[in-house]
Structure 1
Amino acid sequence: MSEVSISDYLLTHLERGGTVPMNRQLYGLLRDGILGGAILPGLRVPPSRALAADLGVSRNTVTYAYDQLIAEGYLEARTGDGTYVADTEPDMARLPAALTGDAATADGGAGSLLSGRGERLLSGTGASSAQWGAFMPGIPDITRFPNEVWSKLQARHWRRIAPGLLTYGDGAGYLPLREAIASHLRTARSVNCTAEQVIVTSGTHQSIQLASTLLGEMGDTAWVEDPCYWGTRNVIRSSGLAPLPLPVDEEGMQLPEEALRTPPRFIFVTPSHQYPLGPVMSLARRRLLLEYAARHKVWVVEDDYDSEFRYSGPPLASLQGLDSNERVIYLGTFSKTLFPGLRIGFMVVPSALAPRFARANAELFRDGQSFLHAVLADFMNEGHFSSHVRKMRQLYAERLACLQAAIRHELGDIATISGGDAGLHLALGLPTGTNDVAISQAAKVRGILTRPLSAYYAEPTSARPGLMLGYAAVSTESIPPLFAELAQEIRGQLCHLDTRA
């Protein structure tokens, strides 16, 4: 191709009056021609004045395209000699031959773009694109959040913003927030801690990843409840640990003799309100768990995700509060008490580990939400947090009672209810053989969101069918008619079950 044919090439492809500016079109056509081999290395391109005349555009248009191509290495300007197409052809001879056979697909399987670890992670995902509506579990009523109070607290900080709130944060989090969290935990959850032990994170997932990374090695065993929160299992697995599911009964995670003979590195539990079934770990089992962890140097990770909302009896003390050997890592979050989009959680670690956890948190995640931390600290210190929790506890208790009544009315003794003493959801148990996945999918078509209980089990063979029903974000008056619709789908599925039987 000569200089003249470059002009012809451009004249053929330029779009007059198009939406793309002429200088960008010219740049793109020359670049694509060079990359595609239509314009060869070493070719001298027309002078900017001549090309502008050939194309009927301003010289500035051509100059822009040339300057951009020179800056990116496609063209090179030679003083006194014009502008030439640069030689950017890669030396393919230096590259080893492409892998073939098993070596080419060992990481991700045939045709996969992901690693084997990535494929395993995505095979067990549970996050949904729909996060608001009846009966989505784990979602608080964000319409009742005191927006005006929060807005005023934000405005107060903006009026005299401290520079430190707009840069990267301390690895442990904003100190006044950590002090507020520690004070609250000591009073409300019987957690033994100081502000120095509190590490502020973006939520439970980050907290689990941080603990797994700092305290575990690749391949270490981690006991998890079965069923359990899918996110816990996936973060553990993605961190290189090997989750070992242990069954749950009415006293929480079981500790079978066979498992006790081989101590793990971690034990992940939800002792105050087991997720998703809801039992409370008995005191005897808590003490056994802590004694076992102390003897064998096991780390116990306590996820206290929704214990602010307990509807029968006084609040339960945390597992961490019973620990005298500093083997418990305590996790909490504001997603259930305030709103999930806030993305602020926290962990309480033993004093000796706190500085290293703070340093690792800064190194891995570079926290920068100090402004939100400051607003939340004020929200807690001025009493708004405890006031909001009290109001929502009363409201959620009312909605729970309404949902339980609707279940009894619509299904009678067909279904069982568990986990109704605390939290934002209950587990609806269904007869063996029920296709809870099909019910959940059919309900979604009706605009009703629920999760199949079987999806929370590690193995399909041990899974119990049922539905996870969140009631916190559903108005009391809406619960009966909406559950009536869901009950139609359940009864329809049970009819198919009877037919097959």
Structure 2
Amino acid sequence: MLWIPIDRSIDIPLNRQVYQQIREKILNGDLQSGERLSSTRELSSELTVSRNVILEAYDQLLAEGFLDSRRGSGTFVAEGAFLKQHEKKPALDRIDEKSKEKNIIDFRSGIPALDLFPRKLWAKLSHSLWNDIAPSNFGYDIPEGRLELRQVLSRYLSRTRGVECHPEQIVITSGATQALTLVSKLLLSPKDIAIMEDPITSDIQSIFKASGSSIYPVPVDEYGIKTSLLPEDKNPKFIFVTPSHQFPLGGILPIQRRIHLINYARKNNCYLVEDDYDSEFRYEGPPVSSLQGLDSERVLYIGSFSKILSPALRIGYLILPMHLIEKCRQLKWFSDLHTPSLDQLILAGFIREGYLERHIAKMKKYYKNQRDFLMDCLNTTFSNKIQISGYSTGLHLIAEFNEIYFSKELLKNIEIYGVKVYPVEDHSIEKDKYHNRIILGFGHLQKGEIKEGVIKLYQALYNLNY
């Protein structure tokens, strides 16, 4: 019997479901070359579907070469249709549609309050731009991005982050991910070594590993990367750091360690890559100045507007020493020619008119209130069973639990209770150090969701009925 589950509640036609599942079984080797399939009449009876459904699925598989039909003998799996599958890569953390459909409270980090995006101001600037823009602006543009945006961005970053750069040192990218990919192509070759904080975002590890290079992990503590553990014999191409808000643990790198990093980079003739992903939202005191401001010739600085405004904008930036600019522009051109020009012009106006800084000030108050509410819920619900850290900046905090091991089985059980959480361990390079810590994002959740999510998390961890 050929077991094929049929789901009549989804939009995929039944014949397509049968086709896809048989195709997958052949490609995976579950159905092997020469193996005889059930007749269309037998399979339609087994699956309780119309015979026409099976006929259409078989006809498609025959047309694509997956099956052979032998007159008087039946239908068989064709030779040479098995495809050895690559090892599956871990899925990127994201809020997916299935989680929404299942009403799962998703504590994914790094998602801003999308409902508070400044739509009216954005629409006003967009309307004005579309009314007044010259036809020439609808053509191809330069890879490094619109000068208007690079000019206002250089002034804004100098004023708010202590970044020292000329507009010519900025390359506008389609988000931070493209900036990281450009850095990888710019600085790494196979067998090179990149030093990274440990733990650090798993997606960034994957980007750098894709170049064929090796990653050398350096542990972090409550202040960030432990610069005293930087190796003396590795000759790295760069050190990747998140000094203003270490991801995921939340430390802020003190000046002594920043100076140590600069001196190490100078001594070893390597670069520092600074990811400044959400430092605008610092709740205790003003934002910390950038590492780039200490040595603009050694530091490559990455930022984006995904967490400040919206991931949907897909606008980020990479600031480089002047001697790397021309090569980076070429790589950007090969990648996608240029980031969408009109969105850049709208964003330039948004920054120039002071709307960005006002929006950040507003959202900083909002996120602090959300953070405090989450901390109150955690402390009230878990009492002395939990320690909270990494909450001075950004859109997430770290919850460390006494005597809890966040295994895959436990995470599945938590999701059954209606909550999705993300272990720190998923982002560690050297494993089994953070098995009792999870990342809890709060920027995109309403207070009711936060409260309900914390209660359900408690129920899941201690096997309580719900």
Q: TM-score, normalised by structure 1?
A: 0.72
Partner of 2:266: 294
Partner of 1:481: 452
CA distance change for structure 1 residues 163 and 260 in 2, over 3 Å: closer, same or farther?
A: farther
Question: Distance in 1 between the 2:214 and 2:183 partners?
Answer: 14
Partner of 1:402: 373
Question: Distance in 2 between the 1:425 and 1:316 partners?
Answer: 17
Whether 2:219 is the aligned partner of 1:247: answer yes
Find 1:128's aligned residue among 83, 94, 107: 94
Within 5 Å, which residues of 2 pair with 1:250-289? 250-257=222-229, 259-289=231-261
Give the total of aligned pairs: 388
CA distance change for structure 1 residues 134 and 111 in 2, over 3 Å: closer, same or farther?
A: closer
Q: Secondary structure at the match of 2:420?
A: coil
Q: Secondary structure at the match of 1:488?
A: helix
Q: Secondary structure at the match of 2:300?
A: strand
Partner of 1:351: 322
Partner of 2:441: 470
Within 5 Å, which residues of 2 pair with 1:422-433? 422-432=393-403
Whether 2:115 is the aligned partner of 1:149: answer no
Question: Distance in 2 between the 1:444 and 1:170 partners?
Answer: 46
Partner of 2:172: 200
Gaps of 5+ in 2: 1-58, 70-79
Partner of 1:186: 158
Partner of 2:384: 413
Question: Distance in 2 between the 1:167 and 1:415 partners?
Answer: 56
Q: Secondary structure at the match of 1:244?
A: strand
CA distance change for structure 1 residues 289 and 481 in 2, over 3 Å: closer, same or farther?
A: same
Question: Distance in 2 between the 1:433 and 1:393 partners?
Answer: 32
Whether the aligned pair in 2 keeps the contact of 1:432 and 1:464 (CA below 8 Å) is: no
Whether the aligned pair in 2 keeps the contact of 1:274 and 1:280 (CA below 8 Å) is: yes
Question: Distance in 1 between the 2:316 and 2:407 partners?
Answer: 32
Question: Distance in 1 between the 2:122 and 2:392 partners?
Answer: 30
- The Cα of 1:259 is off from its aligned counterpart by 1.9
Letter of the 1:390 partner, please give it. A
Range that drifts further, 248-257 or 333-342: 248-257
Find 1:387's aligned residue among 358, 366, 387: 358
Partner of 2:303: 332
CA distance change for structure 1 residues 348 and 487 in 2, over 3 Å: closer, same or farther?
A: same
CA distance change for structure 1 residues 319 and 483 in 2, over 3 Å: closer, same or farther?
A: same
Question: Distance in 1 between the 2:340 and 2:453 partners?
Answer: 38
Q: Secondary structure at the match of 2:239?
A: strand
- The Cα of 1:147 is off from its aligned counterpart by 0.7
CA distance change for structure 1 residues 408 and 368 in 2, over 3 Å: closer, same or farther?
A: closer
Q: Secondary structure at the match of 2:357?
A: helix
Partner of 2:312: 341
For residues 206-233 of structure 1, the C-alpha deviation after alignment (integer angstroms, 9 at most, x for no partner) is: 1111111112221211111111111110
Letter of the 1:123 partner, please give it. K
Letter of the 1:425 partner, please give it. H
Letter of the 2:94 partner, please give it. S
Letter of the 1:355 partner, please give it. E
Q: Secondary structure at the match of 2:285?
A: coil
Higher Rg? 1
Letter of the 1:480 partner, please give it. K
Question: Distance in 2 between the 1:485 and 1:129 partners?
Answer: 18
Q: Secondary structure at the match of 2:440?
A: strand
Partner of 1:458: 429
Within 5 Å, which residues of 2 pair with 1:83-94? none
Partner of 2:135: 163
Q: Secondary structure at the match of 1:259?
A: coil
CA distance change for structure 1 residues 168 and 243 in 2, over 3 Å: closer, same or farther?
A: farther
Gaps of 5+ in 1: 1-27, 39-98, 100-109, 494-501
Within 5 Å, which residues of 2 pair with 1:19-34? none
Q: Secondary structure at the match of 1:464?
A: coil
Whether 2:176 is the aligned partner of 1:210: answer no
Q: Secondary structure at the match of 2:155?
A: helix
Whether the aligned pair in 2 keeps the contact of 1:209 and 1:239 (CA below 8 Å) is: no
Question: Distance in 2 between the 1:234 and 1:442 partners?
Answer: 28
Question: Distance in 2 between the 1:332 and 1:443 partners?
Answer: 33
CA distance change for structure 1 residues 157 and 402 in 2, over 3 Å: closer, same or farther?
A: same
RMSD of aligned Cα (Å): 2.9
Q: Secondary structure at the match of 2:227?
A: coil
Letter of the 1:180 partner, please give it. V
- The Cα of 1:433 is off from its aligned counterpart by 5.1
Q: TM-score, normalised by structure 2?
A: 0.77
Q: Secondary structure at the match of 2:301?
A: strand
- The Cα of 1:164 is off from its aligned counterpart by 4.0
- The Cα of 1:128 is off from its aligned counterpart by 3.0
Question: Distance in 2 between the 1:410 and 1:433 partners?
Answer: 16
Q: Secondary structure at the match of 1:182?
A: helix
CA distance change for structure 1 residues 409 and 175 in 2, over 3 Å: closer, same or farther?
A: same
Question: Distance in 2 between the 1:322 and 1:192 partners?
Answer: 9
CA distance change for structure 1 residues 354 and 372 in 2, over 3 Å: closer, same or farther?
A: same
